[in-house]
Amino acid sequence: MNWFSSTEQQQLLKTLERESEKLHFTERRHFLKNALVMAGSGALALHGGQALAGNQNLPPNVPQWTGKLGDGVLTNPYGQPSKYENQTIRRTVPWLTADAISSISMTPLHSLKGIITPNGLVFERYHAGVPTINPDEHRLIIHGLVDRPLIFTMDDLRRFPSVSEIKFLECPANGGMEWKGPQMEALQFTHGMISCCEWSGVRLSTLLDEAGVKPQGKWILAEGADGAAMARSIPIEKALDDTIVVYAQNGEALRPEQGYPLRLVNPGWEGNTSIKWLRRLEVGDKPWHMREETSKYTDLMPDGRAQQFSFVQECNSVITSPSPELPFKGGKGWYEIEGLAWSGRGKIKAVDISFDGGINWQQAPLKGLVLSKCLTRFSTMINWHGDPMLLQSRAVDETGYVQPTLKQLRAQRGGNSIYHKNAIHTWKVNANGSVQNVQLA
Amino acid sequence: MNWFSSTEQQQLLKTLERESEKLHFTERRHFLKNALVMAGSGALALHGGQALAGNQNLPPNVPQWTGKLGDGVLTNPYGQPSKYENQTIRRTVPWLTADAISSISMTPLHSLKGIITPNGLVFERYHAGVPTINPDEHRLIIHGLVDRPLIFTMDDLRRFPSVSEIKFLECPANGGMEWKGPQMEALQFTHGMISCCEWSGVRLSTLLDEAGVKPQGKWILAEGADGAAMARSIPIEKALDDTIVVYAQNGEALRPEQGYPLRLVNPGWEGNTSIKWLRRLEVGDKPWHMREETSKYTDLMPDGRAQQFSFVQECNSVITSPSPELPFKGGKGWYEIEGLAWSGRGKIKAVDISFDGGINWQQAPLKGLVLSKCLTRFSTMINWHGDPMLLQSRAVDETGYVQPTLKQLRAQRGGNSIYHKNAIHTWKVNANGSVQNVQLA
């Protein structure tokens, strides 16, 4: 395990201070004045860059594939990634679970850009495997403390007014393997239980309005049609707020492992409350205390009591580049430091970056869309001179909540936790550009 | 061909006027007061809704798949759609082109929700097939009227500051088969040459800034590494504005048919200017007049002259539901009328809907994200009483440009056009709920 002592951290800080004039942060323009040498030299051997320098009108050698005809349209009527991208896949940790039908696979965050997770790479988590559901036979029922119990076909649901929203979904166990120390030498395993899609469907409030919730209706039970009959109790306030009954992700029908043909999405909440293969919504006056909200998905506190219904995924962030899978492989020079931030309570307000393990901080600009309960990108450019760094990011959301240190989180939650580890994460960048997962002692 | 005469239109208008009190537009809440009967009756036969009505605490019969264990994680390390969605694919029109390597496949817009097109369904268009490019061997060169000619590997490009933006890409031939009358009985074929993704890469201005464009540099030639060496001339003003050198779409690497590993995206412009498999950018002082900007992608005007460099995809819209592929199949009652609007000049400001072929209009609310040069959704609910309708949508963009009628467009452009048909489109909804592609005479 890569514990990093405070003595080591102080030594690193001194190195960085000596070199501080080298670690520049500049405007976007004119940051890569050495790009010609960097880019040109790497390509000389392959493309005759010498001639290029002598005659600016000559293009480089024509590559072999320009001399050939390619594949026709509809070679893949439903497209596939390039064969050169066959390592961009979901992965699991073999020792983590006993069986693949009650397990998890994780999103390769290091391979992704922007905020959308493509459907083929959205993380998986289920409790009795993925059922194969015929959408024509699927039904959603709403019953319990309602004026008019209702049962819907998929066609029925598609007649209701639809909404489409880009929201992250995160398993509360994301990062859970790291509670007791740095174990996973990969971003995909430290943070890969999160994905972000454009979800389309009907607001649950619209359907509940049709059913007519009785005044004593205070909770909803959502139940899946999978073999686990996975079920969670959800307060009526959330159900009437932003919960969506979803049938599409990133434009197309839900993927089987994402609940095809129907699921809940509770924006900003524990992924497991967004019940997949949704078949039943019961309105009641109190929670049901189902298996997955008692034996699982509770937080064991230092005093031995379990905290139940900790729904919200609190503000979190991680640097995605560099990362163990994306080291600084070009030696010294300019790199983009990039990462993701998110909060289950709303929008990201700001992200700070530290290069010395949290002693000094500076703000990293957010870029692109900044949406509520959605992945948000931050980035900054650095001119790296080969010094080791302890890279951290710290996100703040619009409620003012500041992402805590692991020490702060442990002080509050003790050593028994599995879920809701949203602590500041540390990557150690070594002099050779490799990146390690470390924790500060 | 489905020409619809003005006499027929007047007759239809009278019907609608008589029935006008039945065509309601209401707030989102309480619009489906007959939902119980509608939804419940459809499901009675399958799920024992009778018992349901008698005992509100009983869920419907447990489906067969709840009694079984499903597939484990990583059954598809890179996921696939459900087998029940195997008709949600790109399609081509067999008679349209002579060979699949110089053809087009179209996006099934009727199957999509929201604004993101999933990567497997993004429309295809190429001129000599899809090359299979090894990204390690791919290079981008910038040369011509620059201070420092540059050549980049993919790794080089990924060190530059990246941007991610959701933008539509549209072939200027979208709808081109409809210039001479309504021919295609499917939304996929009348409007399916458009898709919308989150594109990630480096601003072209960033790279040009590194190279240093000489004062006399006024145009850029962008050339692909495909067998066609597809090339277009682009004014320097666009290149320095919002053009992106793109390596990722919807988070993951570009798909092969979208230019893997590198392409241009010129937001809002003719798709063919967003050169795929990008290998060369030459800065010059005038356009090059390449094959695909002389023999193709010019607009033959009424006087016989060809208009060149009509880059911008003007404001356009279409109703996606109902459409020929999505008829009103549930009989009378409430339906969501939904559609897409877009403009190559910026954001959509408003969309109007007509039910009588353009005599009367009412505004349809925009919903979800409204972004510049991006697909935008509009929708309204109607309580359909079985009357035939002539459904139209008319978009207005933030510049004030109003989508024209086909008559207006023909008056300006004559009868020789192939490209840039952004006229108001008409669907005829028949009394049986089926939907036809018609044009008003």
Residue B57 has pLDDT above 70, yes or no: no
Using the beta-carbon criterion (under 8 Å), do B132 and A83 form an inter-chain contact?
yes
How near does any CA of chain B get to the CA of A144, in Å?
5
Q: How far apart are CA B246 and CA B199, in angstroms?
A: 6
Using the beta-carbon criterion (under 8 Å), do B65 and A156 form an inter-chain contact?
no
Least confident of A29-33, A101-105, A256-260, A372-376: A29-33
Task: Find the CB nearest A43 among B69, B125, B139.
Answer: B139
Encoding tokens for residue A370? 């900044």
Neighbour-count burial for B246-283, b at 16+ CB within 10 Å, e otherwise: bbbbbbbbbbbbbbbbbbbbbbbbbbbbbbbbbbbbbb
- What would the pLDDT profile of B335-360 be if each residue is shown by its tens digit? 999 999 999 999 999 999 999 999 99
How near does any CA of chain B get to the CA of A87, in Å?
9
The string of DSSP letters for B39-51 reads HHHHHHHHHTHHH
Least confident of A412-416, B186-190, B226-230, B262-266: A412-416
Residues of chain B with Cβ-Cβ distance to A45 below 8 Å are: none
Task: Find the CB nearest A72 among B63, B101, B256.
Answer: B101
User: What is the pLDDT, as a whole number, of residue B10?
Assistant: 79
Terminal CA-CA length for chain A? 11
Confidence of residue B58 (pLDDT cuts 50, 70, 90): low
User: What is the pLDDT, as a whole number, of residue B35?
Assistant: 34
How near does any CA of chain B get to the CA of A209, in Å?
7
**Residue B9 or residue A439, greater confidence:** A439
- B237, with CB counted inside 10 A (0-12, 13-18, 19+), is exposed
Q: How far apart are CA A78 and CA A75, in angstroms?
A: 9
Using the beta-carbon criterion (under 8 Å), do A43 and B134 form an inter-chain contact?
no
Number of Cβ within 10 Å of residue A310's Cβ equals 16
Residue found under tokens 């200017």: B273
Using the beta-carbon criterion (under 8 Å), do A133 and B65 form an inter-chain contact?
yes
- What would the pLDDT profile of B377-391 be if each residue is shown by its tens digit? 999 999 999 999 999
Interface mutation vs chain B, best among A151, A195, A367, most B CBs within 10 Å: A151
Using the beta-carbon criterion (under 8 Å), do B112 and A252 form an inter-chain contact?
yes
User: What is the pLDDT, as a whole number, of residue A180?
Assistant: 85
Q: How far apart are CA B340 and CA B115, in angstroms?
A: 8
Q: How far apart are CA A26 and CA A20, in angstroms?
A: 14
Using the beta-carbon criterion (under 8 Å), do B227 and A66 form an inter-chain contact?
yes
Confidence of residue B46 (pLDDT cuts 50, 70, 90): very low
- What would the pLDDT profile of B275-289 be if each residue is shown by its tens digit? 999 999 999 999 999
Residue B17 has pLDDT above 80, yes or no: no
Confidence of residue A18 (pLDDT cuts 50, 70, 90): low
Neighbour-count burial for B159-189, b at 16+ CB within 10 Å, e otherwise: bbbbbbbbbbbbbbbbbbbbbeebebebbbb
The bridge status of strand A194-203 relative to strand A244-249 is antiparallel
Q: Cα torsion for B372, B375, B380, B382, to the nearest 10°?
A: 160
Query: Nearest residue of A to residue B329 by CA position?
Result: A155
Task: Find the CB nearest B253 among A75, A88, A139.
Answer: A88
Residues of chain A with Cβ-Cβ distance to B209 below 8 Å are: 29-30
Helix (H, G, I), strand (E, B), or coil: what is residue B109? helix
Using the beta-carbon criterion (under 8 Å), do B251 and A335 form an inter-chain contact?
no
- Of A29-38, B4-13, B33-42, B44-53, give the range with the top mean pLDDT: B4-13
Interface mutation vs chain B, best among A65, A206, A230, most B CBs within 10 Å: A65
Mean pLDDT of B82-87: 98
Residue A37 has pLDDT above 90, yes or no: no
How near does any CA of chain B get to the CA of A13, in Å?
25
Using the beta-carbon criterion (under 8 Å), do B74 and A90 form an inter-chain contact?
yes
Eight-state DSSP code of residue B139:
-
Using the beta-carbon criterion (under 8 Å), do A73 and B88 form an inter-chain contact?
no
How near does any CA of chain B get to the CA of A94, in Å?
11
Confidence of residue B43 (pLDDT cuts 50, 70, 90): very low
Using the beta-carbon criterion (under 8 Å), do B72 and A101 form an inter-chain contact?
yes
Mean pLDDT of chain A: 90
- What are the distances in angstroms from CA B199 to CA A8, A117, A315, B117? 41, 12, 26, 12
Among A80, A107, A188, A111, which Cα is nearest to B80's? Answer: A80
Using the beta-carbon criterion (under 8 Å), do B253 and A153 form an inter-chain contact?
no
How near does any CA of chain A get to the CA of B11, in Å?
29
Task: Find the CB nearest A116 among B74, B103, B198.
Answer: B198
Which amino acid belongs to residue B175?
Answer: G
Helix (H, G, I), strand (E, B), or coil: what is residue B21? helix
Interface mutation vs chain A, best among B55, B113, B141, B255, most A CBs within 10 Å: B113
Task: Find the CB nearest B101 among A39, A43, A70.
Answer: A70
Using the beta-carbon criterion (under 8 Å), do A367 and B209 form an inter-chain contact?
no
Contact between residue A132 and residue B65 where contact means Cβ atoms under 8 Å apart:
yes
Using the beta-carbon criterion (under 8 Å), do B79 and A165 form an inter-chain contact?
no
Residue A222 has pLDDT above 80, yes or no: yes
Number of Cβ within 10 Å of residue B95's Cβ equals 7
Mean pLDDT of A161-186: 95
Residues of chain A with Cβ-Cβ distance to B99 below 8 Å are: 72
Q: How far apart are CA A424 and CA B271, in angstroms?
A: 43
Residues of chain B with Cβ-Cβ distance to A229 below 8 Å are: 66
The string of DSSP letters for A325-387 reads TB--TT-SEEEEEEEEEE-TTS-EEEEEEESBSSSS-EEE-EES---TTS-EEEEEEEEE-S-
Using the beta-carbon criterion (under 8 Å), do A338 and B162 form an inter-chain contact?
yes
Residues of chain B with Cβ-Cβ distance to A261 below 8 Å are: 82, 84
Radius of gyration of chain A (CA): 25
Using the beta-carbon criterion (under 8 Å), do B200 and A114 form an inter-chain contact?
yes
- What would the pLDDT profile of A120-169 be if each residue is shown by its tens digit? 999 999 999 999 999 999 999 999 999 999 999 999 999 999 999 999 99
Mean pLDDT of chain B: 90
Mean pLDDT of B398-426: 95
- What would the pLDDT profile of B217-263 be if each residue is shown by its tens digit? 999 999 999 999 999 999 999 999 999 999 999 999 999 999 999 99
Mean pLDDT of A24-30: 36
Q: How far apart are CA A125 and CA A292, in angstroms?
A: 13
User: What is the pLDDT, as a whole number, of residue B18?
Assistant: 52
Percent of chain A residues topping a pLDDT of 70: 89
Task: Find the CB nearest B73 among A79, A103, A338.
Answer: A103
Task: Find the CB nearest A28 among B84, B132, B161.
Answer: B161
Task: Find the CB nearest B78 among A121, A132, A253.
Answer: A121
Residues of chain B with Cβ-Cβ distance to A130 below 8 Å are: 70-72, 75
Residues of chain A with Cβ-Cβ distance to B384 below 8 Å are: none
Residue B97 has pLDDT above 60, yes or no: yes
Sheet holding A278-284, edge to edge: A150-152, A140-144, A278-284, A219-224, A231-235
Using the beta-carbon criterion (under 8 Å), do A132 and B225 form an inter-chain contact?
no
Encoding tokens for residue B365? 């609310």
**A vs B: CB pairs below 8 A:** 460
Domains of chain A: 3-26+313-440 (2.60.40.650), 100-307 (3.90.420.10)
Eight-state DSSP code of residue B317:
E
Query: Nearest residue of B to residue A66 by CA position?
Result: B227
How near does any CA of chain A get to the CA of B119, in Å?
7
Query: Nearest residue of B to residue A143 by CA position?
Result: B56
Residues 6+ apart with CB under 8 A from B98: none
Q: How far apart are CA B66 and CA B60, in angstroms?
A: 12
